[in-house]
Structure formats: C-alpha cells, structure tokens
Structure 1
Amino acid sequence: MTEQMVGVNGVELCVETFGDPADSALLLIPGAGGSMETWEADFCLALAGVGRFVIRYDLRDTGRSVSYPVGAPGYGFLDLVGDAVGLVEVFGGGRAGVAGLSMGGAIGQYMAVDHAEKVASLALISTSPVFPAELPPLTAQLLEAYGAMTDPDWGDREAVVEHLVRGARIHWGPLGFDEGVVREAAGRIYDRSPDLRTTGNHNVMKRADGPERDMLALLSAVSVPTIVIHGAADPMFPSEHGAAVAEAIPGAELLVLDGVGHQAPPRPTWSVVVPAIAFATTG
C-alpha cells in the first residue's frame, strides 16, 4: 500500500498496489474526474484477499498524476486508454484483468476492442456503451441537482469537501449513503490534489479520433470473461445501459445491484461484488 510515481505513455501517473505481485493483476480504472480514491482501500484489500494483485491509480488531472492547465487538457480519451494499457504492461506483465467505473468502463471497452491481448477479463461497472444509439438519458432529478450545484471557493478545504460530499450524494442510490466514509475520502482528495479544478478537463478533452464507432457491434468480438455490474438506481446511466453492454458481449454476466446508484460498489454489496469480480477476473 505505497504510492509511487510511474512513467507510462509519456507521462507520470501516481499508482498504488495491494496484494502479492505474483497473483493475477487487476487494474481498477476510475471514472471521469476520479482519482484512485474512487476505490476504497478496504475494497482493494478485499480483492487482494481473494488472490488479486490490485492496481489503483490517479487519472491524468487527478490526485498526484500529471496535470494540465484548467480548461486546456493536452490529451484526449485515447490517451487515457493508452495510460491504462501502459500500466498493464508495467504491473501486469503485459496482461491483466480490467475493472472500470463509468468512463473507466468505457476505457475498459476500448482496451478490450483495440488492445485485446492486454485484457485478461473485464468488470464493467456503472458504465455505458461508448456512443450509445438509443438508451435512456440521465434522470430529471440528476439534471435538477446539477443545476443547483455551484462551485465552492477552491482554496477553502472545508467548502470543497462539502462540495465533493454533495456531489457524491446526488449520484448515490438509496442503499446507505455513508457520509463519514465519503467525507474522509473527500478530505484526502483535496489534500492530494494541487488544483481540483483540473478534474473538469475530462469534460472538455477530445473524446476520440476519427468518426464515432459502433461500440455495441465491436463488443461482439470480445471473448474474455466479463461481468457487468450496474446499480438499479443509477441516475446517470439507467440500468438499460448496463444491460446493453452485457447483451453485446458474448457470455457476459449482468449483476444488477438494488439500491445502488452511479458509484463504485458500496460496502454493503462487497460480499457479492468482490467474489463476482474475482471470479470474472481470474484471467
């Protein structure tokens, strides 16, 4: 459980590992604006406890990884895919299980399609097909909540922590919002980030090169063990998104979590989720 700076894909990323490097590697990819704090340390330890060498990291413009001027990211989505591939090469011996949340799930999809030799298995969490055709939009309640959010004084730790807690709450499902855990994580996020405003660069980066791709069709060629985990109460990607991903990948298993929103699996689900991911990511 020691953070380290690692050079991959031409940049420096902050990485932390859990477990025995001799075990099957599992790369955890956060969603947009997310750092390694997306994945609770206890969750990583639980995965390590069932025989996985777990790697979590800060995406570009989050935590201690490389950052760019606010509003001017010097990279695009495909660079984030390349970062994940680079970490698999460094920590997974060239091949690893991949678990991605939200945009991290999109990165996992691209890895499985464009870098199939690097991916031993997939766990796609609270995610959606890249460029989906016709799937339900985010809920009216979430849109309303976004409209009510205002930027804090980014130099005021207490105000920023409160802002991050509120942001987590509006995505969380009704299954036990643990404010204490979320608040502690928000404090660590603030303390580890030189400028939290740079996380917004994920919203303005170049999404892809070339024309949009029919990811649902491309996913039909994925042949690794796959589990799709989706919250039944996800306000950003209603559950139809997860179902579409699972249907597109041959043999994929769909695990729907009652009471869970757009979030990493909360602690009450770990007894189901940890063995499910571990089984899917045997590689």
Structure 2
Amino acid sequence: MTSGTAPHSPGERLLGVNGVELCVETFGDPSAPAIVLVAGACASMLWWDAELCERIAAGGRFVVRYDHRDTGRSTCCPPGRPTYTYGDLAQDVLGILDALGIERAHLVCQSMFGGIGLLLGVDRPERVASLTFVSTSTGAADLPPPAADLAMPPAPDAADPAAVVAYVVAGARACAGGSPYFDEAAIRALAERDVARARNYASTLVNHYAIGFDEPSRGGFGDITAPTLVVHGDLDPLLPPAHGEALRDAVPGAELLVLEGAGHDVPRAVWDAFVPALVRHTAGDGS
C-alpha cells in the first residue's frame, strides 16, 4: 500500500541523515533548549500532536518531531524486510541533531522506542541533556504482562486504506485501556491523515517489529546519568503501571509522573499535567 498523497505541513522538511531521508518538523525558537520527541513503534511524527508540540515550545523549548524510517514521509523499506537495526534508529536521532546544529538535546522517548533513549543515554551521554520515558518499560521478565482483556484487532488488508484506518483506531482504543479521554473522532482523523501521508503504510504496520533490540555497549538503565523523568498512564493496559515504577527504580534519581486517567498514550486531557512537568524537567542542560 503506497500512499503519500495527503497534504503535509509546510513546516516539514526532508533531511538526508545516515544515508536515508527523514522527515522533520520543528516548533519554537532554535536558540532555546532542544527537545526531540521520539514516537513509538509504527508511529509517525503525527502521533506527537502539533498542538502539543506548540504548547511545549511555548514553555521556551525548541521542539523537534520526526518520522522514523518506515513511517510518514521518511524512507521506507519493503514490508517485512527492514534493512536497518534498532541501533540505526538511535543513530538517526543523532543525525537529526547534527543536521539541525544541536549539540545536546532532551529526548522524550515513547513505548517500544524508549530503548532509543536507553541506547543514547548510556552510550552517547554527551549528546543527551535529559531523558523522558513515556509509556515504556525496562523489559524485565518479572513485570506483569498486558492486561488480560486487552483485545488487539486482527491485522488488516494493507491494500485497503479504510481497513487500515479502522485497524489503527481499534488498536488505539484498546491501548487507551478504557480511558475516559479516548477521543475516537480525533484518532480517526489522525489515522486517516497518517495513512494517506505515508510513503508505504504496509511497511509502517510491520517493519519496526521485524528488527532486533540492540543493547547499549556501556551498560544498562542503572548506568544512565542524564536526569530522567518516567511518565506512565495509570490505565495503561499494554504496559501496566508496574512497568513505569520499575523503570523509575532502575534509573538512578529518576522521577515518576503518573498520568491519571490515561492509557498507553498522552491524551489531550492530561497535557496540563504533562507539559509543565516536561518543561520543568528540561530546564537544565544536563551537565
């Protein structure tokens, strides 16, 4: 399923990074402290809402969001055949920083790609001013599994855009964990734009799950030195709250922000808690 037909923001630009094209959009004053928003698996930059980015930028931050490989307008591989590693995705963050002339940045990493924050926080601490892990986990074997009633939808026919949109909406509903803040109309509009905007949504659906996880070469969560904030919804059904608590305990000095009424995402209703906490957390330069 090849799309790429939807209008895109005039603020988006394609950067040549690490031999691929990555679509990047920025918000705010480039001279302000930089925050890079790293979306979760299969998620383009659109899942960091533009209004949320603007609100963070209004707190005196230079906000960067981008499409991972195999999402949005960035380079795509054939479905099921990604030619990159998890480590390459981490290096893409550094490539974006280099392209934008940013020496150090605050990284906000969500869900599966919390591991990007781990890799860079341990192996490239000189580039990381702070870390924020959103809806993620240490991956320890003794943590609770997804909720027993978590009903993820069956995979769609990738050639049928309507079926793909319905699949994305159903998955988002399931991951919301019964949150009263789940806005189906807004998620449907986002999914429709995301599917239409993508170079190849068939690749988006599968390729991130086809890469292996790369461990840091210099240690683990206990070796992170950057100031760390852990953000977790109290209704998260995919990674129950114990995952956030374990992550807080694993990183020296980490703090935990529980988003009440939120599932695996950061819905608009909790932005009044999330944004000020993030602005406070990113006030220093991490040195």
Is the TM value for this pair above 0.5?
Answer: yes
The separation in 2 between residues aligned to 1:53 and 1:122, in whole angstroms, is 15
The separation in 2 between residues aligned to 1:77 and 1:218, in whole angstroms, is 16
One-letter amino acid matched to 1:218: G
| Structure 2: runs of 5+ lacking an equivalent | 1-9
Change in CA separation of 1:92 and 1:251 when aligned onto 2, cut-off 3 Å: farther
Aligned counterpart for 2:146 among listed residues 129, 138, 151? 138
Corresponding position of 1:197: 202
The separation in 2 between residues aligned to 1:42 and 1:232, in whole angstroms, is 23
Q: Give yes or no for contact 2:119–2:216 (8 Å, CA) kept in 1.
A: no
The separation in 1 between residues aligned to 2:132 and 2:187, in whole angstroms, is 23
Q: What are the superposed Cα offsets for residues 155-208 of structure 1, whole Å, 9 maximum, x if unpaired?
A: 333332222111110001313211121111111101111321102111111322
Structure 1 residue runs of 4 or more that deviate by more than 3 Å after TM superposition: 212-215
**Greater displacement, 61-70 / 254-263:** 254-263
| Structure 1: runs of 5+ lacking an equivalent | none
One-letter amino acid matched to 2:142: E
Q: TM-score, normalised to structure 1's length? A: 0.91
The separation in 2 between residues aligned to 1:232 and 1:204, in whole angstroms, is 29
The separation in 2 between residues aligned to 1:170 and 1:178, in whole angstroms, is 12
Q: Give yes or no for contact 1:234–1:262 (8 Å, CA) kept in 2.
A: yes
Corresponding position of 1:234: 236
Corresponding position of 2:221: 219
Structural mapping, 1:33-182, within 5 Å: 33-91=42-100, 93-129=102-138, 131-142=139-150, 145-146=151-152, 149-173=153-177, 174-182=179-187
Change in CA separation of 1:128 and 1:90 when aligned onto 2, cut-off 3 Å: same
Change in CA separation of 1:213 and 1:33 when aligned onto 2, cut-off 3 Å: same
Q: Give yes or no for contact 2:74–2:199 (8 Å, CA) kept in 1.
A: no
The separation in 1 between residues aligned to 2:76 and 2:257, in whole angstroms, is 35
Q: What are the superposed Cα offsets for residues 245-266 of structure 1, whole Å, 9 maximum, x if unpaired?
A: 1112222110111221111x11
The separation in 1 between residues aligned to 2:101 and 2:30, in whole angstroms, is 8
**How far did 1:213 drift?**
6.7
Matched, 1:26 2:19: no
**How far did 1:92 drift?**
5.5
Q: Give yes or no for contact 2:80–2:210 (8 Å, CA) kept in 1.
A: yes
Could you say what secondary structure the match of 2:149 adopts?
Answer: helix
One-letter amino acid matched to 2:264: H
Change in CA separation of 1:9 and 1:60 when aligned onto 2, cut-off 3 Å: same
Q: Which has the higher helix share?
A: 1
The separation in 1 between residues aligned to 2:220 and 2:155, in whole angstroms, is 39
Q: Give yes or no for contact 2:14–2:24 (8 Å, CA) kept in 1.
A: yes
Q: TM-score, normalised to structure 2's length? A: 0.90
**Greater displacement, 171-180 / 38-47:** 171-180
Could you say what secondary structure the match of 2:21 adopts?
Answer: strand
Aligned residue pairs total: 273
The separation in 2 between residues aligned to 1:97 and 1:151, in whole angstroms, is 35
Q: What are the superposed Cα offsets for residues 47-73 of structure 1, whole Å, 9 maximum, x if unpaired?
A: 001011000011110111010011110
Corresponding position of 1:275: 276
